[in-house]
Structure 1
Amino acid sequence: MAEVLFRNFTEFANSPTMVTSTEKNVEPYDMIFSLWEGVLVTAILGILCVFGLIANAVTFFVICTSKTLRKSSFNILIMSLCVSDFLSALNSPFQMYRRIWGFLEFELPVGFCKFTIGLGTWTMFVTVQHILVFSVFRLLAMQFPNKIGRITPKIAKITAVVIWIEVFIVSALFYIMTSSVIPYKPGRYKTACTSVSKDWRPIAAEYTTYALPILLFAPFIGILLCAIIITYILIKIRKRRATQHTTNNKQKQEQERMALIQVTLIVLSFFIGYSVESVYRMTKALDLRDLFTVRTKWVTLTTAYVLLRVSECLNPLFYNFGSSQMREKTKQFLRTGDVSSAPNSISSPTMKTASPHKTTVV
């Protein structure tokens, strides 16, 4: 298998002519990527894959085995997000092969192509909707701190299950049906494992027009607006207290400071992971694909995927950064392999949320 892949890639790299981004206008162009670029991206994704698997598994286990942490409805949602990020990391080797070493000739069965595209789409939009829910809950907790307790762990579990089922039916299932492996031929500009086969292109164009605004663009805007409103409210509270010379204890000041830092990090992480992907999908929805050559398309999509994996690897770090209680539980687990003896009395800088996606000040 490895010899076949290397031979195919070598022949491709030494090919004097390739194609542009459209089937109607075939012209010579430089090779899509060099061997060292493929090796570099593979190494980066390999490291992110290992880290993502370990970090999300540890975070999930720490919450699941801690009686204190799993009582929080927000931590239930974090566990669900950990599952999404874990599956995304697990899917990385298949995505790596599809985007790099199997770009011209996908040697695996069609089922693997459908699996990696379906799972990749599923986990991406599940993560987006989880972050949107976190952002809305966080904003509600700031506006109605006395009522946020009504969001019980049971409600959180139902919310998570609904998100998983809804995204699978609306998005993942569609791409499982439309994805296929196309045979290699000179002048082909698509990846061998394509998300939309030729027979599905008219339907896919209509689907993209209506689905992307709902699944990606609207949540993207919603998360940004929530972050801006929350930051504004926190700054306003701090200014009002400073003007009124209100006595404020150090713990409260620390909570507000952590909330501001967390909001900044969350928005930064989300934009790192989804901005390039969103921009590319926007050009696709607007039928502006002629802006890309095959080379720039590969660079854009590969960069988007790497940044998405970076963002998903940052999530477990932010979970621990956002809650001193979870941080202590994680340290205890890494030292002893058990969280039952970890301190339970350590207060979190956020309202029982222990999540970077809902930095709510009490």
Structure 2
Amino acid sequence: MEVLLNLSNSSVYRRPFSDVSMIVTSSILLPLCAFGIVANLITMSVIAKSEKLKTTFNYMIMSLCVSDLMSAMISPLFLYRRTWGFDEWNASGFMCKLIWAVDIWTSYVTSTHILLFAVIRFISVKWPAVYYKIKSIHVKATIATIWFATFFIGFVPFIIWFESKTRDRQSDAVDAKWPACTLSIEWVSAFRLYSVVAYSIMYYFPMLMLLVLSIAITYVLFDKRKRRESIIGRAGSSPQRQPRARLEARRRTKENQIMLQLGLIVGSFFAGYLPQTAYHFYTTGATPQTYQAKKLDWTIGIGTYICLRVSECLNPIFYNLASRKMRHETVSVLCKCCARPFTSKSRVSTSQATPKSSLPLASQSRDALEM
């Protein structure tokens, strides 16, 4: 049943979505929220606990997980903004500003991290000697700089420009079709200019560079393969041929993992952020007045946000798919977490079934020390 609101001019306002739309949207976004929080926490925990995974690339992946975790945590409020809070934002005005500021901040962090990831990956395959000179302190300093710079580029302007208020649904203003928590009408012109400049620098330039770097990495890897094949071919049937062939097989497996990981992360980034930025240009430029046009705007808006959430939820899966070490450590951590309750129960039952006097003296002493 659609909610009907009687406005002051006696006309009838219809929301651009139905109750069914709210249920369907919630059934998609809430599980994505839960999965995003759990998956990113697990990935962060795995990298933090494993010495094997403390590498240059995994430091960037861990920072990406922090960004995706923050985005997942605020996603229920974006769902509320597009559904139950569409006409009246009942949360605080500061919370409205905060979710928008955090959303754009984490988006910029993600785009710059993925570009940095691709640049360092290219260096590692093209100039390995240079790559091995990159220390963890260099990567951590770069990551901290990215978070600091994007805070001022994204967080600060958005926390100023966005607000929560009841929109005049009968006006000709561009915000007549927007949710209650959205861009302030006074800042629309500034936002249009900002989106052209900032999105070009923070989204479209990284996307272009990612395409170039992905092609370059693939070319370098296949060129190296050809050179190694020629060396193995010249070895003929010498005793060195078999060891070299086995080494080549391991190298190819590693190279395939490199291309797979980069391809999945880049593809996910494109699928999530291209629709979102395109919608921002569309909705701030068009001023549809018909009900069908407003309904289309709402559908595109929620659809692009779902694409963004799916993209960010896929990242932890891609990290594990493309790295055997990551998969092994993740499975190990999950097995330990699952086994811990059963181990605790078995210890309790054993201690209850065995009298203290029947335990060895060493065990009794150890129990006394632990009390």
**TM-score band, normalised by the shorter chain?**
0.7 to 0.9
Partners of 1:213 and 1:290 in 2: how far apart? 24
Give the CA deviation at 1:288.
Answer: 4.5
Decide which structure has greater helix share: 2
2:151 matched to which residue of 1?
Answer: 168
Counterpart in 2 of 1:343?
A: none
Question: C-alpha deviations, 1:263-287, integer Å up to 9, x for none?
Answer: 4323322222122123334556xx7
Q: Secondary structure at the match of 1:293?
A: helix
1:327 equivalent to 2:310? Answer no
Q: 1:222-268 CA deviation, whole Å, 9 max, x = no partner?
A: 12221122223333334454566545322122123333333432332
Q: 1:290: how far off?
A: 5.2
| Equivalent residue number for residue 286 of structure 2 | 289
Task: For 1:178 and 1:288, locate their aligned partners in 2 and report how far apart those are by CA, in whole Å.
Answer: 17
SS in structure 1 at match of 2:156: helix
Match of 2:180 among 187, 192, 200: 192
RMSD over aligned CA atoms reads 2.6
Q: In the alignment, which residue of structure 1 is the partner of 2:189?
A: 202
Structure 1: any 5+ residue segments left out of the alignment? 1-5, 19-29, 339-362
- Determine the structure 2 residue equivalent to 1:268: 267
Residues 145 and 282 of structure 1: CA distance in aligned 2, closer, same or farther (over 3 Å): farther
Q: Quote the residue 1:211 is aligned against.
A: 198
Shift of 1:201: 2.6
Per the TM alignment, residue 67 of structure 1 is displaced from its structure 2 partner at its CA by 2.4
Matches within 5 A, 1:251-262: 251-262=250-261
Runs of 5+ consecutive residues of structure 2 not aligned to the other structure: 171-175, 234-243, 339-371
State the identity as a percent. Answer: 34
Please tell me the residue identity of whatever aligns with 2:286. R
Question: Which residues in structure 2 correspond to 1:116-131 (within 5 Å)?
Answer: 116-131=99-114
User: In the alignment, which residue of structure 2 is the partner of 1:114?
Assistant: 97
Report the AA paired with residue 196 of structure 2: T
Structure-2 residue corresponding to 1:248? 245
1:109-135 residue CA offsets vs partner (Å, 9 max, x unmatched): 101101111111111111111111101
Taking the aligned partners of 1:173 and 1:310, their CA distance within structure 2 comes to 26
Query: What is aligned with 2:308?
Result: 308
Amino acid at match of 1:313: C
- The one-letter amino acid of 2:223's match is K
For residue 65 of structure 1, report the CA deviation from its aligned partner: 1.6
Please tell me whether the aligned partners of residues 22 and 83 of structure 2 are also in contact (alpha carbons under 8 angstroms).
Answer: yes
Structure 1 residue 31 displacement after superposition? 5.0
Superposition deviation, residue 44 in structure 1: 0.7
The match for 1:353 is none
Structure 2: distance between partners of 1:310 and 1:107:
27
CA distance in 2, matches of 1:288, 1:244: 59
Query: Who is 1:53 aligned against?
Result: 37
Q: Does 1:152 align with 2:152?
A: no
Q: TM-score if structure 2 supplies the norm length?
A: 0.78
Q: Distance in 2 between matches of 1:132 and 1:332?
A: 30
Name the CA distance, whole Å, in 2 between partners of 1:171 and 1:314. Answer: 24
Instruction: From 1, 6, 11, give the equivalent of 2:4.
Output: 11
How far is 1:150 from its partner?
2.0
Please tell me whether the aligned partners of residues 118 and 262 of structure 2 are also in contact (alpha carbons under 8 angstroms): no
Counterpart-to-counterpart distance in 2, 1:135 and 1:95: 30
Tell me how far apart the structure 1 counterparts of residues 194 and 177 of structure 2 sit (CA, whole Å): 22
Deviation at 1:210, TM superposition (A): 2.0
What secondary structure sits across from 1:180 in the alignment?
strand
Q: Give secondary structure in 2 for the equivalent of 1:69.
A: coil
Change (3 A) 1:201 1:333: same
CA contact (8 A) 2:47 2:58 kept: yes
Higher relative contact order (CA 8 A, sep 6+): 1
- The farther-off stretch of 275-284 and 216-225 is 275-284
Rg larger in 1 or in 2?
A: 2
1:47 shift after superposition = 0.6
**Distance (Å, rounded) in 1 between the aligned partners of 2:287 and 2:168:** 21
Structure 2 match to 1:336? 336
Distance (whole Å) between structure 2 residues aligned to residue 288 and residue 236 of structure 1: 47
1:114–1:180 Cα contact (<8 Å) kept: yes
The counterpart of 1:35, out of the listed 11, 14, 19, is: 19
For residues 280 and 237 of structure 1, do their structure 2 counterparts lie closer, same or farther at Cα, with a shift above 3 Å needed?
farther
What is the TM-score normalised by the length of structure 1? 0.79
Counterpart CA distance in 1 for 2:335 and 2:58 is 22
- Give the conservation status (yes or no) of the 8 Å contact 2:199–2:277: no
Cα distance in 1 for residues equivalent to 2:281 and 2:143: 27
